[in-house]
Amino acid sequence: MRCPTGVGCSRIRRDEIAYSRPAVRVDSWQSVWLSGATACARDYGILYWYGWVVGRALWFVGAEADQRLSMDYPARYESQFSLDDGTPVYVRPIRATDVDHMMKLFEKFSPETVYFRFFSAMKSMPIDKLREFCDIDYDTQMALVAYVMEDGEESLVGVARYVVTPEEGGAEFAVVVADEWQNRKIGTNLFQRLVEAAKDRRIETFHGLVMNENIKALGIIRNSGYKYQKSVLEPGIAQVEFKLSDIKPSQAR
Ligand X SMILES: CC(C)(COP(=O)(O)OP(=O)(O)OC[C@H]1O[C@@H](n2cnc3c(N)ncnc32)[C@H](O)[C@@H]1OP(=O)(O)O)[C@@H](O)C(=O)NCCC(=O)NCCS
184 near ligand X, judged by CB under 6 A: yes
Nearer to ligand X, 101 or 117 (CB): 117
Nearer to ligand X, 134 or 221 (CB): 221
Compute CA distances 82 → 127, 186, 189, whole Å.
31, 9, 10
Nearer to ligand X, 72 or 150 (CB): 150
State how far the Cα of 145 lies from the Cα of 68, in Å rounded to an integer: 22
State how far the Cα of 192 lies from the Cα of 196, in Å rounded to an integer: 6
Query: Taking the complex as a whole, how short is the minimal distance between the CB of residue 178 and ligand X, in angstroms?
Result: 8
61 near ligand X, judged by CB under 6 A: no
Query: Taking the complex as a whole, how short is the minimal distance between the CB of residue 247 and ligand X, in angstroms?
Result: 16
Nearer to ligand X, 179 or 200 (CB): 179
Among 36, 111, 219, 236, binds ligand X (CB under 6 A): 219
Residue 202 region by backbone torsions, left for phi larger than 0, else alpha for psi between -120 and 50, else beta: left
Of 232, 226, 97, nearest to 170 (Cα)?
Answer: 226
Among 171, 220, 221, 238, binds ligand X (CB under 6 A): 220
Binding mask 107-146 for ligand X (x = CB under 6 A): ------x--xx-----------------------------
State how far the Cα of 191 lies from the Cα of 91, in Å rounded to an integer: 11
State how far the Cα of 114 lies from the Cα of 121, in Å rounded to an integer: 7
Contacts of 154 (CB under 8 A, 6+ apart): 90, 101, 147, 148
87 near ligand X, judged by CB under 6 A: no
Residues 189-218 that bind ligand X (CB under 6 A): 208, 210, 214-217
**Residues 50, 53, 57: CA angle, nearest 5 degrees:** 135
State how far the Cα of 204 lies from the Cα of 223, in Å rounded to an integer: 19
Query: Taking the complex as a whole, how short is the minimal distance between the CB of residue 103 and ligand X, in angstroms?
Result: 17
Query: Taking the complex as a whole, how short is the minimal distance between the CB of residue 209 and ligand X, in angstroms?
Result: 7
> Which amino acid belongs to residue 20?
S
Query: Taking the complex as a whole, how short is the minimal distance between the CB of residue 186 and ligand X, in angstroms?
Result: 4
Chain residues that interact with ligand X, rule: CB under 6 A: 113, 116-117, 174-177, 182-188, 208, 210, 214-217, 219-220, 223
